[in-house]
Amino acid sequence: MLKALAISCIQRLKTILQSKYFYFFLSIFLVFYVLILTVFTKYSSKYVAPSFIEGVVVEVKESDNYGVLILKTPEKVICKYYSQDIDILSLLGKKVKVWGSIIEVYNNTIPNTFNYQKYLYNNHIYISYKINKITILKNENIFYKIKQNFQNRIDKISHNDLKIKNYLNLFLLGNKDYLEDNLYNIYKNNGIWHLFALSGLHFSIIIFLLEKFLKFFPIKNIIIFPFLIFYLFLVNFKISLMRVIVYYILKNILTSLNINLGSFKIYLLSLSFLILFNPFIIYDIGFLYSYLITGFLILSNNKIKGNYLKKLLIISLISLLASLPLTINLNYEINILSFLFNIFFVPFISFLVFPLVLISFLIPLFIPLLKISILILENLNIYLIKIGFNLIIPKIPLILIIFYYLFLFLFIKFSKSKYFIILILIITFNIILPKLDNNYYVYYLDVGQGDSALLISPHKKEVIMIDTGGNPRSSYHNSQNTILFLKSLGITKIDLLILSHGDADHAYETLYLLDNYLIKNIVLNTNGDNELEKEIRKKGHVVNNYNSHNFSYLNILDYKGPSENESSILSYFQIYDYSFLFMGDASSKVERKFIQDYDLPVQFLKIAHHGSKTSSDITFLKKLNPKLAIISSGRNNIYNHPSKEVLNNLENLKIKYLNTQTSGTIELKLRKNNYILKTYEP
C-alpha cells in the first residue's frame, strides 16, 4: 500500500515537474516573492546601542591594521577589532562576548560606485560594531574545529610562502582577500578573474574524483551529499558553489526517482530553490554571473560542437556575451580580447593549476610544481595586460539590459547574425548615449578630509578636475571611486588637472590617477615644488597655463605666500550665466587680496580649507555673497572642520551652504536657463 502511494506521488511529481506551465507559474510566484520580501519589506537591527554583544564567530578575516569578525547572534553582526592582543583567526567557531560601540555604515556618496551599506543589508547585516574588548565564553564545536584545522593545514604546508598561501586560500576556500590588489586588477582587466572563483568548472573535478573513488559503493550519495554540503560550510556558502551543489543534488535525487528532466529544467529548479531559501540572493553579483552564464550555456548546448578548441572558443564567446552587461555595470570596462585569453587560461587553470592545488594540499611535495605554474600564470597575465584592448563602456540603463538579453536569447535560439548585430548596436548606442547629453556638470566629490571637484562639459568633450584628495596614511585610494565614476559616464581621460597646492589632502591621489588613468595636462601652483609635487612633475605632463573655449576666465592667482596653503591656486570659471570660484586652502589674507584685486561675480563658492577658521573671512563672504557655498570635509575628522566661526559667518550672512560630510557628493547640472542641484547623501 505504502509502495503504491509512493509510486503515485512520484508520478504526480514527475507530471508537475515536466509541465511547462509549472515553471511559468513558479516564475510569477518568485517575482512577487522577491518583491514582497526584498523591496516592500524593510529590515533593521534589533540592537539599538548595545554596550556588548554575545555570539558565535562564524567568519574571520585579517586586514592591514584590523581584524573582521562576523558574529552569529539573533542576527548577523560585522565587527572590527583594531587590537593585536589576540589571534583573530583562532576565534573561528568560538562563542564570544564583545564590548564596544556601533560604527555607522554609509551609502556610496560617489555615484555608480560600490555601496557597502547596501551590500551588508543584502547579506542580512544591519549594524557594524567596533570591538574594544573580547572574552571567549565557549570553545568551537567540532565542525568549526575541522574548519580551523583546514586553514591551519594551508598555513602549514605553505611554509611561510605568502604566494602559495594566497593561491591555496583562493582555490580551496574561495578567499580572494589575501591576493595582492595589483594581481587582482590584472586578472580582472584580462577578463579571467571568474576562473579563480570556486565554481562548477573547478568543482566538477572534485565531484569527478569522488564519483570515481566511490564508483562501486552502492549508496555513494550518502557520502557525496554530506561531503558537498560540508564543503559549502568550509567556504562560507559561496554562491557559485551553491549553484553547482544544489544542481548536482537535485539531478541525482530526480534520477533516483526515475524523473528525467532536461538540464534547463533542473537549472530552473536549483535557481528557484536558492531564491526561496534567500530572496536577497538575486542581488549577489556572483549569483547573477553564475546563473546567467550557466543558463545561456545550457541553452546553447546543441551549438557547442567541433573539436576541443572550437568548443572552448564558443563557450568563451557565449560566456562573454552572457556576462557582458554585468561586467560593464560592475567595472564600466571590458577587455575585448578576454574571450581569446580564456581559450588558453580555462584549460591551464582547470587542468593544471587547480589540480596541482588539490594535490599539493594532500601531498606538499608537489608545491614546487604549483609554484612554477603560478609564476607562469602571473607573468603571462602581466604581459597580456600590456597588449589587451580595454574598452570603457558607460553604465547600461535597465531598459537596454532587458533588450540586450532578449536579443541574446533570440541569437542563441535561432543563430541568426541579425540578432548578433542588434546586440552590438545596443552596446554601441549605450556608448554614444552619454555623448548626447548637452548639459554641463559640476561635481564636488566626497573624498573625505580633502578636496576634489570635476567639471564636465556638454557631450563629455572636456573634463577638468580640481584637486584629487588623498591620505598617505591609508592604503585605500579614494580615486579608485573617482575613476570608476568617470568610466561609468563613458569618460576616458581628464583633460586638465588643477592642483591648487601640494598638500596631500589635495594632491596625493594624483600619483594613483597617473598610474591608472589618462591625465593630459596638469597645472601646479607657483610656490616651488614639495616632494609630492616633484613626483607628480616626473610622472605627469605639467603645463604653465591652459586655455579652454568653455570658460570665459581661468584665473591662477600668482600669490607666493610662505606656505602651500597661501600659495593655493584660485580657480574661477564662468559657465553659461553661472560663476564658480575654487579657493583651495587659501587663508583670509589671500581672500582679502582677491576681493581687492578682482571684482567678479561668484554664485558658487568652494569654501577654502575645508571650513577652517583661518579662512572664509567675513568681509570676503559679504563681498561675494554667493548663491551657494560648498564645504568639503571628512566625517568625524580630527580637525573639527568646518569650524563654528565659519558656519556662523555663513548663517549670519544668510548664505546657503552644503557640506560633503552630510550631503556626500554634490552635483550641479547646468543648463543655459536653470540648474538642478542633487546630493548623494551618506
CA distances from 118 to 13, 45, 76, 511 (A): 39, 14, 15, 30
434 upstream amide cis, omega within 30 of 0: no
Sign of CA dihedral 555, 556, 557, 558: negative
User: Nine-digit cell at 110?
Assistant: 560617489
What pLDDT does residue 308 have?
A: 82
What pLDDT does residue 257 have?
A: 84
Q: Element (H or E) spanning 333, and its range?
A: strand 333-335
**Coil, helix or strand at residue 492:** coil
Please answer whether residues 445 and 453 qualify as being in contact, where contact means their C-beta atoms are separated by less than 8 angstroms.
yes
| Separation of CA 189 from chain center | 14
Hey, what long-range contacts does 644-652 have (CB within 8 A, 24 or more apart)?
645/613, 645/616, 646/607, 646/611, 646/612, 646/613, 646/615, 646/616, 647/611, 649/616, 649/618, 649/621, 650/616, 650/621
Q: Looking up cell 598617505, which residue turns up?
A: 472
CA distances from 573 to 450, 550, 583, 679 (A): 21, 9, 12, 21
CA distances from 188 to 261, 337, 351, 472, 560 (A): 36, 13, 21, 26, 45
Q: Which residues contact 570 (CB under 8 A, 6 or more apart)?
A: 500, 555, 556, 557, 581, 582, 583, 584, 586, 590, 594
Residues of the chain with pLDDT under 70: 1-3, 64, 198-202, 548-562
Please answer whether residues 665 and 446 qualify as being in contact, where contact means their C-beta atoms are separated by less than 8 angstroms.
yes
**Coil, helix or strand at residue 416:** coil
User: Nine-digit cell at 63?
Assistant: 586586514
Task: List the strands of the sheet with 571-575, edge to edge.
Answer: 571-575, 578-582, 604-606, 628-631, 657-659
What are the φ/ψ torsions at residue 223 (nearest 5 degrees)? -95, -45
Residue closest to 658 by CA, chosen among 598, 599, 605, 592: 605
Residue 303 CB neighbour total at 10 angstroms = 14
The torsion defined by the Cα of 118, 121, 127 and 132, in degrees rounded to 10, comes to -80
What pLDDT does residue 549 have?
A: 58
